Amino acid sequence: MEKERKLEEWLLLAKQGDQEAQLAIVTAFRPLVRKLAAQERDYSRRTDLASQLVLGLLEAIRKYPGEDARKFPGFVKTHLTYLLSHYIRKEARQKRIQEKVQVMEGGRSSYQEDFLRGIQAEEIRRAFRQLTPKERLLVRQAAIQQIPWKKLQEAYQCPLSTLYGRYRKALEKMKRGE
């Protein structure tokens, strides 16, 4: 009962921007954040994922409707689980794109590259050549070099949504083989 009361007080103060209350909530949910971050297989990326989950926790504090603290832990767990699934899908998609672009540029993945990949390599190179030089540069920067979208936005001097749209269209163009 006392924990609920403390959480309710912290939640009320944290929603008003009190950093000590926000820190207390983050500390209270640290085991959940660690548990979710442990799902990342690459140990070097776990701290980054944990940081993103902490930011997600702060976002959950801001978005939480009402002041009843009893449902807050479930809300946080749902919100962080959603962020984790989004992170996992994004990483998998990024890895697939990076592999395709490496093949397009003539990179070799390993000596035991399977037969099917060898057949597809020329198709992928052909699809990459279909792109305009600007599209090639954007795909290379976003997928291989993994330049953050904010930096790309500054370099291209256009809205982030426009830039991401161009990127998606370039990938679709490659997929269709126009």
Please tell me the predicted confidence (pLDDT) of residue 157: 92
Better-predicted residue by pLDDT, 43 or 19: 19
**Which has the minimum average pLDDT: 110-114, 127-131, 157-161, 165-169?**
110-114
Which CATH number is 30's domain given?
1.10.1740
Average pLDDT over residues 119-140: 81
44 within a domain of the structure (yes/no): yes
* Assigned token pair, 163: 């830039």
Q: Indicate left, alpha or beta for 122 from its phi (over 0: left) and psi (-120 to 50: alpha).
A: alpha
How many folded domains does the chain comprise?
Answer: 2
Residues 12 and 76 occupy one common structural domain: yes
pLDDT at 107: 52
- 100 within a domain of the structure (yes/no): no
pLDDT single digits (tens) 81-124: 888 888 888 888 888 888 777 766 665 555 445 556 666 677 77
Please check whether residue 127 lies inside any domain of the structure. yes
User: What is the pLDDT, as a whole number, of residue 125?
Assistant: 78
What is the tens place of the pLDDT at every residue in 35-90? 888 887 777 778 888 888 888 888 888 888 877 778 888 888 888 888 888 888 88
Is residue 170 a contact partner of residue 139, using CB atoms and an 8 Å limit?
A: yes
Same domain, 166 and 138: yes
* DSSP H or E segment with residue 169: helix 160-176
> 109 with 84, same domain?
no
The distance of Cα 109 from the centroid of its chain, to the nearest Å, equals 24
Q: Are residues 70 and 140 in the same domain?
A: no
pLDDT at 111: 43
Same domain, 120 and 162: yes
Identify whether residues 144 and 87 lie together within a single domain: no
Which of 74, 29, 34, 39 has the alpha carbon at shortest distance from 50? 34
Q: Is residue 98 part of a domain?
A: no
Domain range for 125 is 105-176
